[in-house]
Each structure stands twice: as structure tokens, then as C-alpha cells.
Chain A
Amino acid sequence: MDKIGIVSYGANIPRWRIKTEDIASVWGKDGKTISKGLGINEKSVPSMDQDTATISVEATRAALKRCSINPQDIGAIYIGSESHPYAVKPTGTIVGEAIGATPDLMVADYEFACKAGTAAIQSCCALVKAGMIKYGLAVGADTSQAAPGDALEYSASAGGAAFIIGSENVVANINHTYSCTSDTPDFWRRAQRKYPAHGGRFTGAPAYFKHITHCSTNLMNIAKTKPEEYDYAIFHQPNGKFPVSIARKLGFTHDQIKQGLIVPYIGNTYSGASLVGLASVLDVAKPGDRIFLTSYGSGAGSDGFDLSVTEKMNDLSRENAPSVFQMVEDKEYIDYGTYAKVTDLLYWE
């Protein structure tokens, strides 16, 4: 039996962008300073006909275009998101139907702030390893919400990535995975509230940095690896600063994280954030490349992955779907008025 890992992957990023400076000017802030401070130039915005379900379907269809697996062989779908279109009614059912995987499969939606997508990958790995399914589909996608005027408004964006997990024709082996969890209320959204709330600077040291450091260090201990052994590293990217800072602290160089650092161009896609980064790395990775990924989900926890790109990567038709950077470039700017309209900030009866 081959090792378990990623059989194919796909991403989806809505075309609309709004510039950090355009948001800042509405609130009387200095856009240049904010943009520099956050390391975010602009963010993706979903049009009114895009949501987590459509992004998940498009990302999965891209993954299916790149390989030749029969969707009927997908035995499990887990969609990680904190913006599922329905509070009750699974996004995974919509995705399953739209990719032709129904009816013989298991489906559930996941939520763990920004790391629900990596949790979905772990579940799929376990099911494949247990022999319960041939392939599993894990998606991390969001159309993130942010209250108008809140700091998150500059970063909360839309996008996602899908990964087909299996043990045949694996293009990237998942050598090791490790998770850590604690009860840390750094960011949350109460049931039936429209916008999330957060603990401000508390989201930093005791939350993002503590968990990613703990998870990454332990993962490297288990894998018996050092940062320099990896060709690429991806960290959860709520803004452009945190991942750069954590990479440096852990001993990774900027060259290692560059390919997977997408947040400056599209913002924080929450459950999609680290996974869109992984998709970007897979767009260019060569057989033999080693990839390190640690996600972070507020609340809080981290999932770490140690991956090795296989020879099978040469057989994957990566050109059958647009690369992450092609989608980053395919954009149309909107103004704040349009942004307010499409993200439902304007509320009237």
C-alpha cells in the first residue's frame, strides 16, 4: 500500500478585490500605515452569488479536473468553514451532489475557526488508513465576516481549497500530522451573531504564536526534522505579519514561506487561509520537495503536517485548472459601496 496523502487539489478565489486603503479611507484611517502594518494590500470579496458552498464546489471541481478519479469513489466529504451558508443544513451535501459523489458516502461540516479545513484533512487520512474509504475530500473555505469598522474588516476575505486524500496515486505523502488544542478564547462568534468578536492583542502571543509554536515544534520532533530540511513552509495567515514572524521564530527563511504566503494579495480566507497557501505550493512543487504546514484555529488549536511530494506529481494535470497565483491575478476592483452592498453591511427593510 502506498502512503496516504494528497491525490489532487484545487483552489478557488473570487475575482473581486477591495484595497486596504479604500476600506481605511471610509473610517478616516491612514490606509498606507494599516496596509503596511497588516501586510495586506487588498482582499478578495465574494460576489452576491458566491458563498462557501460555491467556492467549495469550484475548488473541488478544479481538483477533479487535475486527476482522473471517479467522484463515486469519494467516500467522505468534510467541509471546514466558519461561514457555512446554513447554520443547519450541511455544505457538504451541496458539494457532494455537485461533484457527483452522492449517494454512497459520509458527509459532515466542520467548524474550528480557521483550522477546520486541516481538521478535515486529518479525518480523511484516518478514514483512508482505516480502510473505510478509498478517497476522502477535505475542503477549507470561507466567505469571512467582519464587522464594519473592525480591524478584521481589512483582512476577512473569501476563498478556499480542496484536497482529495487517498492512498493511490498520491502526489504528496502526509508523513506525519500532529495537533494541539486548548481552551483559549481569543476569537469567537456567538450563535446567531452576524460578526465575530476577538480579544485584540490577546489573539497574538497566547493564542496564534503559542499554539503554532507548540504544534510545529512537536511535529518536527516526531518527524525528526529541522526547518532547513523543508523546501516550503506554510503557516496560518490571518495577516501578512504573523506568519512571517512565526516562521522566523521557528527557524524558517522567507524563501521557504514565500510561495505559500497568499494573504498579502487576497486577505485572510479563514478556513481556507493555510490551505490556499498549500495549494499554491503544490502548484509549483517538484517530486522530492518537502512541505511543512501548521494551521491555527482560534479557540484554539493547531494542526501540523509534514508532507513529501512524490514522483506521481509529474502525472497530475496541474494545468487543467488555474493556479492560485493565476487566480490572484484575475481580479476586478470594487469600491466600498459595492463591498458594503455585497457583504450585506447595508441593512434595510
Chain B
Amino acid sequence: MGCEGVARFWREIPQRYNFIGNKCGSCKRIFFPPRESCPYCRRKSMGNMKEIKLNGKGEIVTYTIIHVSSEDFEDQVPYPIAIVKLDEGPQITAQIVDCNIDDVKIGMKVESTFRKIRQDGSTGAIYYGYKFKKVNKQ
């Protein structure tokens, strides 16, 4: 890992920080991450995909607890990873934090939280983005 990955992360910042997806102008389906074209409308959607900010809330569709991770995440095991269905429809993969591992369940309501996701060693860039936590009843 060095500095060569910086641009690759930087161009995804709108998605990783702020859930910027897009919406097909033709069928109104919402996509996250944003797509160049809508797989349902294809040609009709070209040039007709509109940026939309998702609210970062959703529900756990399925999950796992990672015990053996890649090197970048070794200090965090065991940690939950889930597929989250966002309120607007798209599904994404993200870490679940701020809860006991045993509390993670299919159907659990979650909301996004801004966290450090990984870093290029101790000298490289730090990459931030979304993780999810259980929605607090207030």
C-alpha cells in the first residue's frame, strides 16, 4: 500500500461520506452507488440519471460476523458486516458498529455513522466513510 490509491478513494467521497446516488429519469429507480445508466431503461436513461442524496437509514437484510479478516481489519475482529437495504431501495454492504455482536439481527433498523474505514498503513492516507449503527429509540 502506498499513495497510489488516493485518487481511487477520493473520487468516491460523495458516496462514502454523503450517500450520493442517482435516479433514473425514465423509471425513477434509485441506485447506489450511482450508475452510468439504468439497467432497466438503458438507452432511455442515458443522460437522464439524476443525482440524489439518500438518507443513510435502512434495515439489515443479512449479516455475518467476520472472525478472519484481511490485514487492514485485523485489529477489529470479530466485527459484523451486513447487507443493508436503504430506505430508498438500494442495498449496500457495510460494517455494523456500536452494538453487541449478539444484537445484530436480520430486520434490525440501522442508521449511518461516519467512521474511519481503513488507512494505507501508518504513513498513508486515511479513508473515511459510512458504517451503520442500531437506530436509537428516542
Contacts and interface: CB of A to CB of B under 8 A. Distances in A.
Q: Are chains A and B touching directly in their complex (CB below 8 angstroms)?
A: yes
Interface of A: 15, 47-51, 53-54, 57-58, 61, 85-86, 94, 97-98, 100, 319, 322, 330, 332, 341-342
A341 B76 CA distance: 10
Given A49-B76, A322-B138, A57 B114 contact: yes
Contacts of A322: 136, 138
Nearest to B131: A49
Nearest to B76: A48
B116 A51 contact: yes
Contact of A86 (B18, B75, B114, B126): B126
A322 B137 CA distance: 10
A58 B114 contact: yes
Given A15-B98, A54-B128, A97 B13 contact: yes
Contacts of B75: 48, 341-342
Question: Could you say which interface size class chain B belongs to?
Answer: 10 to 19
B17 A54 contact: no
Contacts of A61: 114
Interface string B101-138: 00000000000011111000000001010010000101
Contacts of A97: 13, 17-18
Interface in B67-113: 75-76, 95, 97-98, 100, 113
Given A15-B98, A47-B97, A49-B97, A98 B114 contact: yes
Contact of B18 (A47, A50, A100): A100
Interface string B1-39: 000000000000100011000000000000000000000
A48 B122 CA distance: 13
A57 B18 CA distance: 11
Contacts of A85: 116, 126
A49 B116 contact: yes
Nearest to B100: A332
A31 B56 CA distance: 42
Nearest to A57: B114
6 contacts: A49-B76, A49-B97, A53-B126, A53-B128, A85-B116, A85-B126
Given A47-B97, A322-B136, A98 B17 contact: yes
Contacts of A49: 76, 95, 97, 115-117, 131
A98 B114 CA distance: 8
B115 A50 contact: yes
Contacts of A98: 17-18, 114, 128
Given A48-B75, A48-B116, A319-B138, 5 more contacts: A49-B76, A49-B116, A58-B114, A97-B17, A332-B100
A252 to B, nearest CB: 32
A342 B126 CA distance: 16
A330 B138 CA distance: 12
Contacts of B17: 97-98
